[in-house]
Amino acid sequence: MIHLKIDGIPVEVEKDTTILQAARQIGVEIPTLCHLEHLLPNGSCRLCLVEVTNNGRTKLVTSCTMPCTEGDEVQTMSEEVVESRKGILDLLLSDHRADCFSCGANGDCRLQEYCFEYGVEMTSYEGEVNDECVDDSNKFFTYDQSKCILCHRCVNTCHQIVGRGAIDTLNRGFKSVIGAHYDYDWDQGTCESCGNCVQACPTGALTSKRRKKYRSWQVEKKVLTTCPHCATGCQYYLIVKDGKIVDTEAYDGPSNKGLLCVKGRSGSFDFVHSPDRIRYPLIKNKETGRFERASWDEALDLVASKFMAIKKEYGPDSLAGFACSRSPNEDVYMVQKMVRTCFGTNNTDNCARVCHSASVAGLAMTLGSGAMTNPIGDITQNSELIMLVGSNPEEAHPVVGMQIRQALRRGCKLIVADPRDIGLAKKADIHLKLRPGTNVAFANGIMHVIIEEGLQDERFIAERTEGYEKIKEIVKDYTPEKVAEICHIDAEDLKRAAIMYAKAETAPIIYCLGVTEHSTGTEGVMSMSNMAMLVGKFGRPGCGVNPLRGQNNVQGACDMGALPTDFPGYQKVTAPGVVEKFEKAWGVPLNHEPGTHATDIFPKAINKEVRGLYIYGEDPVVTDPDTTHVIKALESLDFFVIQELFMTETAQYADVILPGVSYAEKEGTFSNTERRVQRVRKAVTLEGEMRLDTDIIIDLMNRMGYKQPHLTSAQIMDEIASVTPSFAGISHARLDSGEVGGRGLQWPCLDKDHPGTPIMHVGRFTRGLGWFYPAEYVPPAELPDDEYPIILMTGRILYHYTTRAMTGRTPELMEIEGKSFIEMNIEDAQKLGIADGDRVKVSSRRGSIESTARVGTKTSPGETWMPFHFPDGNANWLTNAALDKYARIPEYKVCAIKIEKA
Amino acid sequence: MSSGKKTVPFQGTKEQEEQLQKVIAAHKGEKGALMPVLQQAQEIYGYLPVEVQRMISEGMQIPMSKICGVVTFYSFYSLYPKGKYKISVCLGTACYVKGSNQVYEKLQQVLGIGGGECTPDGKFSLEACRCVGACGLAPVMMINDDVHGRLSPDSVEEILAKYE
């Protein structure tokens, strides 16, 4: 340890601690403009100068770069230090256009603050201001060279924290400027518009265009909440002015570490104030087919009486209700409670059915718990190697993607198994460009090599698993050569990947929908846990099997029991005593039979087994496979109610629409992909006669004859905790407390003093012994043939979130990416006479759409890829509703199509 | 930052590209290899146009912004090819005192390019130099091997006209 004094205060620090860090440790503030926490010091702004005396010598040094030395006497505010800082500020102002009145950063500018603090009013070195460059090309922000102090915080953020490297300092000396390239503007480079550089800028050089609508002192409040897009669970502030959200600001949350992506920062609140919001109940006039405004009493009475009439005539299982995985836990809990207590059925589900139900089912079968085993930070910080399978986090979970890029910078190895040349594939040590739908063969091949090489963890297998002999027998046949043929990869690459993965001390498997969305999705998931068990990579930091969940609260929607087979906390309907427990808690008799999965409800609607459907905030017409079939099902229903923010494609088929409420207008919690329960807080008040979703549901419950008292969101969470052992220690009060400190709680959290569980399966699997599932490779349900010779995969892009109901209402996002496209290989394109940018007709056995071709080599020959966000060519008219036998998840990732020039 | 500068059309050959790819392959994944690769690329092509920068960026997985930052920082790297006629204006002490700076500015104006650049037709490239050893003729410029002395800004166009 090193001992020094800062402003006379004795400090003891570890070796290599800088003077700045030491000062911050004891709460002595030293001004900085260029310093970024956790990165190597930049030392460019010089403002952190301090006076250090040691061995009779006194000198001025930059405290951010200077390590502490034994016996240092540091003065942070001596006369000379203050004079020097004044001089530095004076020089910084010499070429700074100080038009503070009109500057977007006015009142929120560190240069301004320090000049004020040190009494620097104007520069004494008046001279040229470099204002050749104002780059306004980015949709969300502007760079103005005349305000830039070249602190490089933006550049360091982009290169070292975000890991994108879209901008750098160009030119030299006085001509230095921040930009993408001398040859093109900011928007023509690789910038993802995440805006983390803008938040890092200490002056008005990089300002958000949103800043034109508010000044920092007009901010009424900043509300800390959780992003409503993917399940990374980024923490951020919603910035409110005059009762409206005008901007966002990243918060240093446990999973996002102060970062946001473009959707979170810029596409997460325009929709809240959209004029398209549904603001009052609507009932469809049967004669005209038009929706007409109704009073709450009218609408709720109609909904309750219709559902009860159907129940009376056709029985409880003729009703079903889907919850929304974008909504808070408390809302989801009430939806499933309504379905179970009032409808009297277990026909409840959520849209995890179509994304990660295979993970929930698969990992529950092999490990005992269907969730990500390790936290995000742990994966990216403690791993030696990352095995990324069927996941494109740079686009679908961008802030996880940024953290993976950080991991690569520090030397972490990467194996990518994905049919496309995703961004991370280029940075990977090995990219296995798998034929879509061959994950099980790939995993079995990896295991074959590991066993062949004798790299399996015998002790772990013996002590903690079962079923090894059987899987060993199965994978014997999966030689690298055979797997290479099935997967269209190189056998040597497979061998290298297997050995690298097995030999790495810590290596998480991170996977996503490329594994789950298959007719063999659950087996694909179990193959992931097979690989990890074989090499004992469980229950340790930087290991595990980690599904990146899709939606903000899809983990929570499953946790809350919006599943036909499970009550809250995965308490099985079929397990002895579970139904009885809930009958006692809820005070009514409940249905003892597991319900029907969402994907099976549609066929049942067509054959009239299901007649009444309540959907809370889902849009299956856009998101579910085989759109024609979904529409037919909705039209077959006797009575269909939807609670929604917007007139979605699905809402148009409803008999009654109840206005839904966005995440920014209510209290609650979301559970992110790493099982972290985090708070959602109300930022703006509801307009007009709109009501909280839980109040609507509770009113309905009472009208259907169940005595449900009105509860606040916090009270609902208390009820959840009382019936759900894994949530027993979670409450709003605790989440808001200093003890949790804005870091949420990761379930299982067994009591009020339980700290939560960052890493699962330590020492013992939830299931007891981990089970090697004997998975054999089975080809996808629909393979290409002469008529439909090409494989279509579907997925998501960076700029939009699923149905676009939210992101589509941020015009800038639509300008960046607003139309459907299909990625195809250049060989296929040439054969079909299609050029990049041509309009094409894409058809499958189920439908036909038009789209625009993007020709290249991102997909292999015979394979194509499409996003499903865009109504002008939604891939789900084509996709195949072939269902997985365990999880009933549809095969979005493989269907056969043909392409013609339109 | 788009500079809006006119560039000379890229005329790299297949052989040059093969040579460059060899250089990239030899240095891929190596720490701090960017500058030597750029140097060798410049030896192959004579300069570092955007097209070459892109090949290096793609091959070495280094962002274009970073490459741009490096090539615009070090004066050693040239973003423009040498013209058919290479003009070097002496800005050494004697020439400078005699007003070579105005000659240099006039040339920039007439040719429509800055120092270190090349006209889009590839005819003239312009750069400043320090003393060609003809101080008695100051201010002086060289066009390829010809020395032109006792210049004035007004004489510039006439001299250029001699070079077809």
In this structure, which amino acid lies at residue A601?
A: I
With beta carbons under 8 A apart, name residues in chain A contacting B68: 168, 170, 179-183
With beta carbons under 8 A apart, name residues in chain B contacting A178: 1
What Rg, from alpha-carbon coordinates, does chain A have? 29
With beta carbons under 8 A apart, name residues in chain A contacting B2: 182-185, 188
Give 10-residue mean pLDDT values along chain A (902 residues): 96 95 96 91 93 95 96 96 96 93 93 96 90 91 95 96 95 93 93 97 96 93 96 97 96 95 96 95 95 97 97 96 95 97 96 89 92 90 94 96 94 97 95 96 97 97 96 96 97 98 97 94 96 96 94 94 95 95 96 94 95 95 90 96 95 96 97 96 94 97 96 97 97 95 93 95 94 95 95 94 91 94 96 96 94 96 94 88 89 94 90
Which domains does chain A possess?
A: 2-77 (3.10.20.740), 127-273 (3.30.70.20), 282-352+553-720 (3.40.50.740), 357-547 (3.40.228.10), 790-901 (2.40.40.20)
A429 — contact with chain B (CB < 8 Å)?
no
A229 — contact with chain B (CB < 8 Å)?
no
Alpha-carbon gap, residue A122 to A486, rounded angstroms: 71
A707 — contact with chain B (CB < 8 Å)?
no
Residue among B1, B63, B75 whose CB faces A135 most closely: B1
Please give, rounded to a whole number of angstroms, the shortest distance from the CA of B73 to a CA of chain A: 5
- CATH no. for B85-161: 3.40.30.10
With beta carbons under 8 A apart, name residues in chain A contacting B61: 426-427
Alpha-carbon gap, residue A575 to A572, rounded angstroms: 5
* Residue A859 near residue A868 (C-beta atoms within 8 A): no
Collect contacts of A399-402 with beta carbons under 8 A, ≥24 apart.
A399/A232, A399/A234, A399/A255, A399/A256, A399/A259, A399/A260, A399/A261, A399/A264, A400/A232, A400/A376, A400/A510, A400/A548, A402/A161, A402/A162, A402/A163, A402/A164, A402/A194, A402/A259, A402/A261
DSSP letter at A819 equals S
Domain boundaries, chain B: 14-73, 85-161
A435 — contact with chain B (CB < 8 Å)?
no
Comparing CA positions, the residue from A233, A248, A268 lying closest to residue A195 is A248
Per-residue confidence (pLDDT) for residue B5, from 0 to 100:
59
Query: How many other C-beta atoms can be found within 10 angstroms of the C-beta atom of residue A299?
Result: 22
ipTM of the complex: 0.88
* Residue A436 near residue A419 (C-beta atoms within 8 A): yes
With beta carbons under 8 A apart, name residues in chain A contacting B50: 181, 183
> CA separation (Å) from B40 to A144, A715, B16, B18?
35, 69, 11, 13
Q: Hey, CA dihedral for B53, B59, B63, B69, is it positive or negative?
A: negative
A857 — contact with chain B (CB < 8 Å)?
no
Residue among A172, A185, A190 whose CB faces B73 most closely: A172
Q: Is A695 exposed, middle or buried (0-12, 13-18, 19+ CB in 10 A)?
A: middle
Cβ separation of B1 and A170 shorter than 8 Å? yes
Longest Cα separation, chain B: 53
A421 — contact with chain B (CB < 8 Å)?
no
Give the β-pairing of A235-241 and A244-250. Answer: antiparallel
Element at A51 (helix H, strand E): strand A49-54
Alpha-carbon gap, residue A659 to A697, rounded angstroms: 12
**Chain A: residue nearest B2 by CA?**
A184
Tokens of A61: 């040094």
DSSP letter at A551 equals B
A170, A178, A429, best to mutate vs chain B, most B CBs in 10 Å? A170
Cβ separation of B50 and A183 shorter than 8 Å? yes
In this structure, which amino acid lies at residue A593?
A: E
Comparing CA positions, the residue from A543, A164, A231 lying closest to residue A387 is A543
Alpha-carbon gap, residue A484 to A466, rounded angstroms: 28
Q: pTM for this one?
A: 0.93
Average pLDDT over residues B5-33: 88
Query: How many other C-beta atoms can be found within 10 angstroms of the C-beta atom of residue A817?
Result: 16
Query: How many other C-beta atoms can be found within 10 angstroms of the C-beta atom of residue A85?
Result: 22
Average pLDDT over residues B74-94: 90
What's the angle, vertex CA A300, arms to CA A299 and CA A302, rounded to 5? 65
Per-residue confidence (pLDDT) for residue B3, from 0 to 100:
62
Q: Where are the alpha helices (DSSP H) in A293-345?
A: 296-314, 329-338
Check whether B4 has a pLDDT greater than 70.
no
A174 — contact with chain B (CB < 8 Å)?
no
